[in-house]
Chain A
Amino acid sequence: ETGVTQTPRHLVMGMTNKKSLKCEQHLGHNAMYWYKQSAKKPLELMFVYSLEERVENNSVPSRFSPECPNSSHLFLHLHTLQPEDSALYLCASSQEVWTGELFFGEGSRLTVL
Chain B
Amino acid sequence: AQKITQTQPGMFVQEKEAVTLDCTYDTSDPSYGLFWYKQPSSGEMIFLIYQGSYDQQNATEGRYSLNFQKARKSANLVISASQLGDSAMYFCAMREGPVQGAQKLVFGQGTRLTINP
Which residues of A line the B interface, CB within 8 A? 2, 9, 40-43, 45, 55-56, 88, 90, 92, 98-99, 101-107, 109
Contact = CB atoms under 8 A, between A and B. Distances in A.
Interface string B81-101: 000000000010101010101
Contacts of B99: 99
B106 to A, nearest CB: 7
Given A41-B109, A42-B4, A98-B95, A55 B45 contact: no
A45 B109 contact: no
A43 B107 contact: yes
Contact of B47 (A40, A99, A102, A105): A102
Interface of B: 4, 35, 37, 42-47, 50, 91, 93, 95, 97, 99, 101-110
Contact of A102 (B4, B45, B106): B45
A107 B43 contact: yes
Contacts of A45: 104-105
Which residue of A2, A41, A106 has the most chain B CB atoms within 10 A of its CB atom?
Answer: A106
6 contacts: A45-B105, A55-B102, A98-B95, A101-B47, A104-B46, A106-B44
A43 B91 contact: yes
Given A42-B106, A106-B42, 12 more contacts: A9-B43, A40-B109, A42-B107, A42-B110, A43-B93, A101-B47, A101-B50, A103-B47, A104-B37, A104-B45, A107-B43, A107-B44
Which residue of A41, A42, A102, A107 has the most chain B CB atoms within 10 A of its CB atom?
Answer: A42
Contacts of B95: 98
